[in-house]
């Protein structure tokens, strides 16, 4: 029996051409009409200037804050889901972020998917004032603290990095629980996804790499004793066609989040969305 066809999301809706608000709205509306299931916004607060590895961007390339950009897109769409791909969690104040995330879920009518990662770009984290060391444990604690604010009748958390009680934050997210996906290609990222999240997101992941990551995810699920399915999203590193879509599906991928080449003008971004619409590449329309 063949694996079910994945759904399709569209990445980079807050950067390059989509950093202009009217362009982003046009892309979002088109993606919704074409049957994309989700729109995804990445994050870099700052990037090193001049560029140094492993920075993914030149310093002059524009990228909006993902939550602000997705709030804008929420106002211009009705159905399509809105994902952060990914927020660099240890760089954020978790109490403030919990409020921002809940607010966006309310304003979008319960359409947010919170994608998180621990970060990898040392100059960015240094500029923000967060050490690279311990960023994984910091992220785990931040997520647990945010979940208390979203879900507990009397929110409270006492940890190494976060400490509060006797407070509350309303309104709570529309979604209970709010879906969380973890990005990253390491064993620790797989374990974090299996322990703490609803899904895993692999950015720019080819078929060969996905076959390896699938085994890592299986090992993490077994090690953590997880019994619920783990949703798998991937941004492919190659052009899409029906055969490639089927190959990702056979590897357990349930959502393909397609990233247009960087620095395209708006017309080319719209053409990319048209050419990769779910019904044209053999994927599942939303």
pLDDT digits (tens, 9 = 90+) for 118-165: 999 999 999 999 999 999 999 999 999 999 999 999 999 999 999 999
Strand partners, 8: 256
Contact 276, 269 (CB under 8 A): no
CATH code at 7-281: 3.20.20.30
Both structure tokens of 151: 């879900």
Mean pLDDT of 212-235: 98
Burial of 202 (0-12, 13-18, 19+ CB in 10 A): buried
- What is the full DSSP assignment across 171-226? SPPSSSSPPEEEE-SSHHHHHHHHHH-SEEEETT--HHHHHHHHHHHHHHHHHHT-
Q: Considering the chain, what percentage of its residues have pLDDT values greater than 90?
A: 98
Query: What pLDDT does residue 283 have?
Result: 98
Both structure tokens of 83: 């994902």
Q: Which of 5, 4, 75 is nearest to 39 (CA)?
A: 75
Contact 271, 239 (CB under 8 A): no
Tens of pLDDT along 68-79? Answer: 999 999 999 999
Mean pLDDT of 187-193: 98
Distance CA 278, CA 275 (A): 9
User: Is the pLDDT confidence value at 240 over 90?
Assistant: yes
Query: What pLDDT does residue 231 have?
Result: 98
């Amino acid at each position: 029996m063949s694996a079910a066809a994945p759904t399709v999301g569209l990445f980079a809706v807050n950067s390059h051409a989509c950093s202009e608000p009217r362009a982003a709205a046009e892309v979002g509306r088109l993606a919704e009409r074409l049957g994309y299931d989700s729109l995804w916004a990445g994050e870099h607060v700052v990037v090193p200037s001049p560029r140094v590895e492993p920075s993914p961007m030149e310093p002059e390339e524009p990228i909006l804050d993902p939550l602000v950009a997705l709030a804008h897109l929420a106002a211009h769409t009705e159905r399509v889901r809105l994902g952060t791909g990914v927020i660099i969690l240890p760089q954020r104040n978790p109490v403030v972020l919990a409020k921002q995330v809940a607010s966006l879920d309310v304003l979008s009518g319960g359409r947010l998917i919170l994608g998180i990662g621990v970060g990898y770009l040392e100059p960015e984290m240094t500029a923000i004032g967060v050490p690279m060391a311990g960023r994984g444990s910091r992220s785990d604690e931040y997520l647990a603290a945010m979940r208390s604010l979203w879900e507990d009748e009397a929110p409270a958390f006492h940890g190494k990095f976060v400490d509060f009680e006797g407070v509350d934050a309303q309104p709570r997210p529309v979604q209970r629980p709010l879906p969380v996906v973890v990005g990253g290609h390491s064993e620790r990222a797989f374990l974090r996804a299996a322990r703490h999240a609803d899904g895993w997101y692999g950015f720019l992941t080819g078929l060969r790499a996905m076959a390896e990551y699938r085994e890592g995810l299986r090992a993490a699920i077994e090690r953590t004793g997880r019994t619920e399915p783990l949703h798998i999203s991937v941004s492919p590193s190659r052009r899409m066609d029906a055969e490639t879509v089927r190959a990702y599906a056979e590897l357990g991928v349930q959502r393909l989040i397609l990233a247009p080449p960087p620095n395209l003008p708006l017309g080319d971004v719209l053409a990319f969305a048209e050419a990769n619409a779910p019904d044209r590449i053999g994927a599942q329309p939303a």
